[in-house]
Structures are given as C-alpha cells and as structure tokens.
C-alpha cells in the first residue's frame, strides 16, 4: 500500500493473528475503535492514559483488520508509541515519569478526598507501589538527540 504524504509505508500484517470468526473480528474492530477514541482523548485529557489504550487498539486490530492495523502502525503521530513498545518493549523516561506522576496524584487524591476506610488506604498505597515498581522495571529507551 502506498500513501501520499508519507515517506515510507511498512506492511506490518506479518504480526497479525486474525480471528477465524467474522463476528468476533467485527467485535474486536468495534472494541479497538472505541479504545482508539479513548486513547486519542487521553492526549488531551490528563485523567485518561494514551499509551495503554493505543496498545489495546493495536492488539484488537491485529485480531480484526489488516487495513486498520497497518494504518495505526504507520500513523505519523500514534504509530511511534505503539511501534516503540512492539519492537523494543521499552518506555521513554518521559513516559515513565508521566505514568508515575499520574499514578501518584490519582492514589493520593483518592485517598485524601474519596476513601474513608483505612484498609482501602493501605490497599491503594500498596497497589500504587506495585504498579510503580512494575513501570520502573521496563528498560528506558534512550532517545538520540539531534545536534542543534
């Protein structure tokens, strides 16, 4: 497939595992499209995470549509998030800090403003520590800086 205004269109269909059932493929496509909308909203709304929804979209499209999976992987703005994860299983330092910051703000504000039970405070804090540790265990992608 050749696209205008794009330097290189890469076919990623070799990574796909289309589901045999047309009904399930349609359901995967609908769920993937919903996930894509949530991921795009997450770019503008700080409460919604972008990357997890985009990764879910990629997975659901691999099970449903070669056309949409290739479109997503080759997208100028969304594709790099997904390709970075699929190809390298790494996170940028910015992504790690953003995820940890959002996790901390969410858990602290929930504990302060919404949760009344001491056991829930402890469980939420423990969950935050475990998720934070999980995020930190991924390798950090070294970004090559261009000379000015």
What is the enclosing helix (H) or strand (E) of 26?
A: helix 22-44
Q: Three-state DSSP class for 6?
A: coil
Task: Kindly report the pTM of this predicted structure.
Answer: 0.68
Residue listed under structure tokens 């205008």: 4
pLDDT at 32: 96
Cα angle value 131/40/83 (rounded, 5°): 65
pLDDT in tens, 15-71: 778 888 999 999 999 999 999 999 999 888 877 778 888 989 999 999 999 999 999
The answer to whether residues 61 and 125 belong to one domain is: no
For the cut 90, the answer to whether the pLDDT of residue 148 exceeds it is no
pLDDT for 88-98, tens place per residue? 888 888 888 88
pLDDT at residue number 38: 93
Half-sphere exposure of 24 (CA within 13 A, CB side): 8
Domain extent, residue 106, equals 92-141
Compute the mean pLDDT over every residue in the chain, rounded to the nearest whole number.
86
Regarding whether 83 and 20 lie in a shared domain, the answer is: yes
Q: What is the pLDDT of residues 37-47, one digit of tens each?
A: 999 998 888 77
Same domain assignment for residues 80 and 105 = no
80 part of a folded domain: yes
Pair 27, 80 in one domain: yes
Give yes or no: residues 63 and 103 share one domain: no
Which of 79-88, 94-103, 132-141 is predicted most confidently? 132-141
Q: For the chain, what percent of residues have pLDDT higher than 90?
A: 45
């Amino acid at each position: 497939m050749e696209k205008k205004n794009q330097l290189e269109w890469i076919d990623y269909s070799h990574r796909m595992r289309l589901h045999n059932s047309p009904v399930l493929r349609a359901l995967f496509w609908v769920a993937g499209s919903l996930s894509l909308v949530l991921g795009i909203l997450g770019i503008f709304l700080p409460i919604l995470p972008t990357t997890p929804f985009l990764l879910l979209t990629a997975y659901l499209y691999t099970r449903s549509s070669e056309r949409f999976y290739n479109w997503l992987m080759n997208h100028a703005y969304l594709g790099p998030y997904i390709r970075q994860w699929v190809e390298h299983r790494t996170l940028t330092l910015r992504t790690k800090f953003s995820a940890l910051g959002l996790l901390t703000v969410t858990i602290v504000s929930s504990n302060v403003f919404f949760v009344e039970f001491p056991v829930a405070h402890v469980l939420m804090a423990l969950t935050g520590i475990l998720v934070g540790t999980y995020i930190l265990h991924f390798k950090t992608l070294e970004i090559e800086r261009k000379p000015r």
